[in-house]
A and B are shown apart, each in its own frame.
Chain A
Amino acid sequence: MQVTAMHFKRKAGENLRNEKLQKALEKLQTKFVDGRAAAIAELPNFEEIRDAATDIRDKVIRNLDRYLLRFEQEATARGAVVHWAETADEVNRIVVEIAHQHGLHKVVKSKSMVSEECGLNDALESQGLDVLETDLGEYILQLAHEPPSHIVAPVVHKSKEEIADLFEEKHQRPRTTQIAELCREAREVLRPGFLSADLGISGANFIIAETGSVLIVTNEGNGRLATTLPRVHVAITGIEKVVPTLEDVSTLLRLLPRSATGQSITNYVSVLTGTKERGESDGPEHFHIILLDNGRSKLLGTELQPMLRCIRCGACMNHCPVYQNIGGHAYGWVYPGPMGSVLTPSFVGLENALDLPNASTFCGECAVVCPVKIPLPDLLRHLRTRQVERQLRPWQERAALRLWAWMAQRPAVYALGTRLAARLLRVFSGSAKRFHYLPGVTGWTSGRDMPAPAGRTFRDLYQSRRPS
C-alpha cells in the first residue's frame, strides 16, 4: 500500500474536524473498550493466561527459523506448497505465478492485512484477475476505493448512511439504511462470487508448526467459504505468525477475540491443513502458503523485537486516546494506532513516518491492554531515540532540548533563568494571568490559554523563607 504517513498531522487535523467520522469513532468506546473489559472479566486468571501467551510468542521469536522450518516440513508433507517472500513485490509475483500456473481468473479474498501491505489486489487486477473482497468491511472499502482505517473493523469510520449510499450506487437496488438489510444485500451480491471463484486468498491469524496448519478466525463465514469452495487456496502471512502447538494456539485464542471484539470466541475458527482429501466434495485441490518477511526479520535482535509478538487484535488502537480522536487513516499506511506507529516506521522507513512515534502522550493504556504485553510506549520512545541519533528532528527542537538539558545541569544558571522567566511571564500575562497567545508554543495557545507562572520560583521563595 502506498505510504502517506508523512501527512499525518494534516490528516489528523482534517479528521478532527470531520463530524461524521467523529460520530463513528464514538462506537469504539462502547463496542470495543467496554466489550473487551466485559470479556476479560469472564476470565478469573486473565493475567496468568496473558503471561503464558507472552511466553509462547517470545519462545517462538527466539527460535523463529526453527519453528518456520518445522511448519514448512509439516505443511509440505500434507500437500501444501510453502513459498518464502522477502518483499511485498515478491508476494505479488508469486500469487500471479500461481494464478497463471493453475489458469485462475476469479479471486475471492478473505481479509488479510498482509495483502494490504503488498497492495496485492492492485497487482492482481493489473494482471487481469477479477478480485472480490468478501469480508463485509473490506468489500465496502473495495467499492469506495478506500484503505481500511482499523485492522479488525476496517470501516469503523463509515456510517450506515454512507454505506447505504455506496450500495445504492453500486448494486443498483433500492436504498436501505437498515443494517440487517444491508448485510442481507451484501450476502446476496457476494454469494455468486464465492460459488464461481477459482482462487481463494486469505491471511492467517496463526500458522501452527506442529501440524503445518493455517488458522483463520472470522465471524462472517466468508473465510470458510473462500478457503473451501475455490479449487486453489493461497494463504499469505507474516513470518512472525508461527505458533508451536495446537495447545499454544488454544491459549492465544482465549485472548485474541476478547481483546479484539469482546467476544469469548469468534464465530468460526478454521484450522486448515493440506489439500482436499480423497472422496471429499469440497476443499482446495491446491494449497499455497506464502511466508512474508518485509522487514520483520530485521526487528529481531533489536529493541523492537517485542513488536513481533503482536497477534493483531487491535486492542491498542481501540484504547488509544489519540486514535480514538483521529481514526486510522491519518496514520497513512496499513497499520494504525500504537502498533502502527511502531510498524510503519520500521517497515517503510523512519524518515517516511516521522510523526508517528511522536504522536503519543505515552499514557500507557496500549501496554495495559496488549494481550502479549508489548511495551509499546518503550518501543515508541526507542524510535524517537533513533530519530535523534539519525538527526531527523528539526533543529529548533534539538536546540531547545539541548538548551534545557544544559541549563538543568547547571543549578546556578538554571536558578537565574527560571527566576527571570517566571517574573517576565507573570508581568506580560497582564491582569488575566494567562496568555491567549505565546510565541514558540503556538501549538498550545491555538487551542488553549497558557496559565502564567506565579511570579517567583519555588527555589527562590523557599530560600527566602527558610534560609539554610
Chain B
Amino acid sequence: MTRMRVGLFVTCLVDLMRPSIGFAALRLLEAAGCEVVVPPAQTCCGQPGYNSGDQKAAKALALKVLQEFDGCDYVVLPSGSCAGMIRVHYPALFKDDPVVIESIKRLSARTYELTDFLVNVAKLQNIPGNYSGSLTYHDSCSGLREMGVQAQPRALLARMPDVKLTEMRESTTCCGFGGTFSVKFGEISTRMADNKCEHIAQTGAGAIVAGDLGCLMNIEGRLRRRGDLDTRVLHIAEVLAGDNGTCK
C-alpha cells in the first residue's frame, strides 16, 4: 500500500515562535504512517493580508502555496485558521479567476487541519506522546467554525490514559486574538483574553491546550500578566506527540 504523501505547512507563527509544534506535527504524521514532506520555501498562507483587506498580496501568496504543495496528496497544518484560509478562503479569493480556480479548489479539497486529518484521514491509532495531568481545551474559532474541528482533538486526547480533560465554560468563545485585532484593539482583546483566563482558572486544570498558536500566545500572554506562571500553555500536537508536552 502506498503511503499518503503529506505536505506539512507549519505556518509562519510556528516557524518563528514555536518550532516544537512543527516537529510534533511531523512526528504525529509519521506515526500515522504518512510520508511527510516539508516544502522548504513555505512562508505564509496570506491570511494577515487577506484579513486586512489586501487581496492582491493574499492572492500572490496563495499562488505560491499552490505551487509549493503541488506534489502532495494532502496538505496538513497545525492550525485551524491557516487551514481555513486555504480550504475556505482561497476558493473565494479566486472565484472570478477561471484559469486558476480549478487547481485552487483541488488544493482546498486536500487541505486539512492536523487533528481532523489524524482522526478522519490518517486514522491514527496509537498516540506517540505521553502526558500526565489535567488540561482544558480551547476551541479556536476558525478551526471550529471553518474546519469543523471540535470532536477530533477530544477523541485523540481520550486515547491518552493519563490525561484528564476538564471542559471549561464557554470553550467556544473567542479568546480575543483575531490576528492584528490583538494589537489594534488591544484593550478589547485583553479583556477577551482575560475572560478566557477566568474560565481556564475555574477548571483548575494544569494546562490549557488549543490547536492554534495565535490563541495560545494570546492566552499565555494574559495568564502570565495576571501572575499565573504555572498553567502550561500547549498546542494539541505537543500534547499528542511530546514527552509530557515537551517536543524537541
* A326 CB-CB contact with B under 8 Å: yes
* Chain B residues near A404 (CB-CB < 8 A): 44, 48-49
Q: Which of B42, B173, B185, B193 has the most CB of A within 10 A?
A: B185
* Chain B residues near A407 (CB-CB < 8 A): 43
Contact of B19 among A397, A456, A468 (CB under 8 A): A456
Q: Which of A367, A407, A408, A409 has the most CB of B within 10 A?
A: A408
* Chain A residues near B50 (CB-CB < 8 A): 381
Measured CB to CB, the closest approach of chain A to B238, in angstroms, equals: 12
Contact B18 A459 (CB under 8 A): no
A442 to B183 alpha-carbon distance, docked (Å): 7
Q: Which chain B residues (31-60) contact chain A, with CB distance < 8 Å?
A: 38, 40-44, 46, 48-55, 57, 60
Measured CB to CB, the closest approach of chain A to B212, in angstroms, equals: 12
Please, which residue of chain B has its CB at the minimum distance from the CB of A380?
A: B51
* B187 CB-CB contact with A under 8 Å: yes
Given contacts A358-B185, A361-B178, A365-B174, contact A388 B52 (CB under 8 A): yes
* A448 CB-CB contact with B under 8 Å: yes
Given contacts A405-B61, A458-B22, contact A446 B195 (CB under 8 A): no
* Chain A residues near B44 (CB-CB < 8 A): 404, 408
Contact B181 A360 (CB under 8 A): yes
* B4 CB-CB contact with A under 8 Å: no
Measured CB to CB, the closest approach of chain B to A354, in angstroms, equals: 11
Contact A451 B217 (CB under 8 A): yes
Q: Which of A326, A388, A447, A449 has the most CB of B within 10 A?
A: A447
Q: Which chain A residues (343-371) contact chain B, with CB distance < 8 Å?
A: 355, 358-365, 367-368
* Chain A residues near B194 (CB-CB < 8 A): 447
Tier of interface size on chain A: 35 or more
A322 to B229 alpha-carbon distance, docked (Å): 27
* B1 CB-CB contact with A under 8 Å: no
Please, which residue of chain B has its CB at the minimum distance from the CB of A330?
A: B188
Contact of B43 among A408, A442, A447 (CB under 8 A): A408
Contact B190 A12 (CB under 8 A): no
Q: Which chain A residues (400-453) contact chain B, with CB distance < 8 Å?
A: 401-402, 404-405, 407-409, 411, 414, 418, 421-422, 434, 441-444, 446-451, 453
Contact A359 B187 (CB under 8 A): no
Please, which residue of chain A has its CB at the minimum distance from the CB of B190?
A: A447
* B221 CB-CB contact with A under 8 Å: yes
Measured CB to CB, the closest approach of chain A to B211, in angstroms, equals: 15
A462 to B23 alpha-carbon distance, docked (Å): 8
Contact B181 A447 (CB under 8 A): no
**In the complex, number of A-B residue pairs with CB atoms less than 8 Å apart:** 190
* B117 CB-CB contact with A under 8 Å: no
Q: Which chain B residues (166-218) contact chain A, with CB distance < 8 Å?
A: 172-174, 176-179, 181-195, 217-218
Contact A462 B22 (CB under 8 A): yes
* Chain A residues near B49 (CB-CB < 8 A): 401, 404-405
* B150 CB-CB contact with A under 8 Å: no
Given contacts A16-B191, A325-B192, A401-B52, contact A447 B186 (CB under 8 A): yes
Given contacts A404-B49, A421-B16, contact A448 B40 (CB under 8 A): no
Q: Using an 8 Å CB-CB cutoff, how does the interface string of A52-96 with B read, 1 for contact, 0 for none?
A: 000000000000000000000000000000000000000000000
* Chain B residues near A9 (CB-CB < 8 A): 185, 187
* B10 CB-CB contact with A under 8 Å: yes
* Chain A residues near B185 (CB-CB < 8 A): 9, 12, 322, 355, 358-359, 443
Selected interface stretch from B105-113, B129-137, B140-148, B155-163:
B140-148
Contact A459 B61 (CB under 8 A): no
* Chain A residues near B222 (CB-CB < 8 A): 447-449
Q: Using an 8 Å CB-CB cutoff, how does the interface string of B210-242 with A read, 1 for contact, 0 for none?
A: 000000011011101100000000000000000
Contact of A401 among B20, B57, B176 (CB under 8 A): B57
Contact A322 B188 (CB under 8 A): yes
* A454 CB-CB contact with B under 8 Å: yes
* A295 CB-CB contact with B under 8 Å: no
* Chain A residues near B188 (CB-CB < 8 A): 12, 16, 322, 325-326, 359
Q: Which chain A residues (102-135) contact chain B, with CB distance < 8 Å?
A: none
* A266 CB-CB contact with B under 8 Å: no
Please, which residue of chain A has its CB at the minimum distance from the CB of B81?
A: A362
A446 to B185 alpha-carbon distance, docked (Å): 11
Measured CB to CB, the closest approach of chain B to A447, in angstroms, equals: 3
Q: Which chain A residues (378-396) contact chain B, with CB distance < 8 Å?
A: 378, 381, 384-389, 393
Contact B186 A444 (CB under 8 A): yes
Q: Which of A386, A393, A448, A451 has the most CB of B within 10 A?
A: A448
A384 to B54 alpha-carbon distance, docked (Å): 8
Contact of B174 among A321, A326, A409, A449 (CB under 8 A): A321
Listed A/B pairs (9) with beta-carbon separation below 8 Å: A321-B192, A322-B188, A365-B172, A408-B61, A443-B182, A444-B186, A447-B191, A447-B225, A453-B18
Q: State the A residues within 8 Å of B (CB).
A: 9, 12-13, 16, 321-322, 325-326, 355, 358-365, 367-368, 378, 381, 384-389, 393, 397, 401-402, 404-405, 407-409, 411, 414, 418, 421-422, 434, 441-444, 446-451, 453-454, 456-459, 461-463, 468
